[in-house]
Amino acid sequence: MTETIPPNAATGSETAEKPARRAFLKTTGLSTLGAYVGMTIPFEANLMALAQGMSEEDIMQGKDGLILMNDRPLNAETPAHLLDDDVTPYKYFFVRNNGLVPDTALNMNAEGWTLTVDGEVDTPLELTLADLKEKFEVITRRLVIECGGNGRAYFNPGASGNQWTTGAVGCADWTGVRLSDVLNAAGVKDSAVYTGHFGNDPHLSGDAEKEAISRGVPIEKAMAEGGMIAWDMNGEPIPAVHGFPLRVINPGYPGSASQKFLTRIWVRDKVHDGAKMTGYSYRLPAYPVAPGTEVPEEDMVIMTEMPVKSLITFPQSGAETPAGQATEIRGHAWAGSGDIAAVDVSIDFGQTWIAARLEPAINKFAWQRFRADVTLPQAGYYEVWARATDMNGVAQPPVVPGWNPRGYGNNMQHRIALIAT
């Protein structure tokens, strides 16, 4: 069966095999152990803690069934069938760290935490968590966070970086304040062009002078609907690996625009030039290039809005279903531009499409549930493909779109295998 199921239609463990193996090759002790137990190692929290040089802290405590991409920094994705919930629980939410998880997060210690808002503002602010909770309207929003490199594993030639397949995405309920309310309280000057976000997570090297990552968004995006500064995830303080005690969320943009462990928002009078804002990081060629092209650095432009996408979360790829009977297919669809217009599914490799029922988003930038009933006519091997279309009429392509040097923005249609019996 392994031979006949294409990569994107593979079952969870098979999907994991290639990237996980690759990760094992370049890492050390922990990974070797992982290779003995199998290619998808469920999180062994103590091992993870040790891998990061922590002694007892259980830094991935409560994670369940994720696939490890790398242990230093910690990166793990979620198999598609574990993303079936409307609200992704903590245990299934993917983890992407560029640096180390800071001690403040590991100890869940927010004592004395402040958020600085400075730069091109009338009144620089220094806000405690209590200030944020008291001085601004507190809101809860269901927002998708998706890594810009989700789907990287399918580019050919391949791109370096975490070999995410389809699981670097999640949709949680976030509680906090509007990013725009905080910026308005500081008074954004006309000279403001971009935000620059900072967190207290140490650089992998441990060098205190270096930032792990510091990205930002155009000021218009920061002031737009959706942007948040959040302290709760699904009704609990944001867990260590997801940015305790505070994170920015800029939904619809690559996940890297949602800074964790947030300490400062620097309003800039030019495009932010923090760590991983420049060079090839989170950038796409300014023009279409042939696969494998060496694109000059000056021709790379910052990736902004994430493309329209969907994921089939039920059934699990490789499942068996009776021929001649209706089977429910379901999943989620989302787009950086906002709401989804339609989702269609195909059981014949895209030759014909069936309209799925689509639920409205609970709020802008939440993913939307789709359901379709399909009947597989006779016993045998099938694939189910899903294709979402956004409000601008832009739909997911059937193949990997626009090759780019770092493998960003792959929104090709998701495919699962179904065996009719």
Ligand X SMILES: Nc1nc2c(c(=O)[nH]1)N[C@H]1C(S)=C(S)[C@@H](COP(=O)(O)O)O[C@H]1N2
Q: Which is nearer to ligand X, 201 or 344 (CB)?
A: 201
- Tokens 């505070």 sit at which residue? 246
Tell me the C-alpha distance between 347 and 273, whole Å.
46
Q: Which is nearer to ligand X, 145 or 420 (CB)?
A: 145
Q: Which one of Mo ion, ligand X, none interacts with residue 212, CB within 5 to 8 A by kind? A: ligand X
Q: Which is nearer to ligand X, 69 or 372 (CB)?
A: 69
Judge whether 326 and 301 are in contact, CB under 8 Å: no
Min separation Cβ 152 and ligand X, Å: 12
Q: Which is nearer to ligand X, 260 or 369 (CB)?
A: 260
- Mention every residue, 6+ apart, whose C-beta is less than 8 A from residue 140: 173, 174, 175, 232
Answer yes or no whether residue 251 interacts with Mo ion by CB under 5 A: no
Q: Which one of ligand X, Mo ion, none interacts with residue 242, CB within 5 to 8 A by kind? A: ligand X
Among 79, 226, 255, 274, binds Mo ion (CB under 5 A): 255
Judge whether 161 and 296 are in contact, CB under 8 Å: no
| Cβ neighbours around 107 below 10 Å, total | 12
Contact segment (CB under 5 A) with Mo ion among 23-31, 174-182, 249-257, 300-308 equals 249-257
Min separation Cβ 74 and ligand X, Å: 8
**From the centroid of its chain, how far is CA 328?**
26
Q: Which is nearer to ligand X, 213 or 358 (CB)?
A: 213
Short-list 167, 165, 161, CA closest to 79: 167
Q: In what order do the strands lie in the sheet with 194-199?
A: 125-128, 114-119, 262-268, 194-199
Pair of tokens at residue 146: 């998706």
Name the residue type at position 194: Y
Q: Which is nearer to Mo ion, 204 or 342 (CB)?
A: 204
Answer yes or no whether residue 80 interacts with Mo ion by CB under 5 A: no
> Which stretches of 100-216 are DSSP H helices?
103-106, 129-135, 179-186
Contact segment (CB under 5 A) with Mo ion among 21-29, 201-209, 254-262, 322-330 equals 254-262
Point out which residues bind ligand X (CB under 6 A): 93-99, 145, 147, 199, 201, 212-213, 241-242, 255-256, 258-261
Tell me the C-alpha distance between 74 and 100, whole Å.
8
Min separation Cβ 282 and ligand X, Å: 8
- Rg of the chain on CA atoms, in Å: 21
Min separation Cβ 197 and ligand X, Å: 8
Give residue number: closest CB to Mo ion. 147
Give the residues lining the site for Mo ion (CB under 5 A): 96, 147, 255-256
